[in-house]
Amino acid sequence: MITDIHYRYQLGGDIVRRSQMTREERASRSRLKPSIGYGEFVRGTLTVRRRTCGNPNCKCARGKKHVSLYITRSKNGKSEQLYIPKDKEELARRWVKGYREIQNLLEKISTTYWDRLKRKD
């Protein structure tokens, strides 16, 4: 393991050595790097929709509605949605989960620096 790795953080461009990081920050950064570098992820919310197709002879006309998965996101202030075909549902779920994991790790790291700014010492 390389112990002389340097990380920069935006406030003043100070250099922070791994040894100066908290254990939690080191762990979060270690988990974050491969997720961003090699992981697959997408920002969005998955929603399940139940609908009728309009065919009077279809099962949905008798109450058993068609189920489909959509991913939604906002981009430039507008909402976008995308239908996810059945064969890509598991892939979409994994990618959304990957994004959330990255988001959680970034939040942990950000909280560390927030707390440093908050300290009065």
Check if the beta carbon of residue 66 is closer than 8 Å to that of residue 52.
yes
DSSP, res 48: E
Q: Which domain holds residue 107?
A: 6-118
Q: Is residue 28 part of a domain?
A: yes
pLDDT in tens, the chain (121 residues): 333 334 444 445 566 677 777 788 888 888 888 777 777 889 999 999 999 998 999 999 898 999 999 999 999 999 999 999 999 999 999 999 999 999 999 998 889 888 888 886 5
User: Which tokens hold the place of 50?
Assistant: 């139940």
Q: Is residue 79 part of a domain?
A: yes
Largest Cα–Cα distance in the chain?
A: 73
Domain count, the chain: 1
Q: Is residue 112 part of a domain?
A: yes
Q: Is residue 1 part of a domain?
A: no
Helix axes 23-37, 89-118, angle to 10 degrees: 140
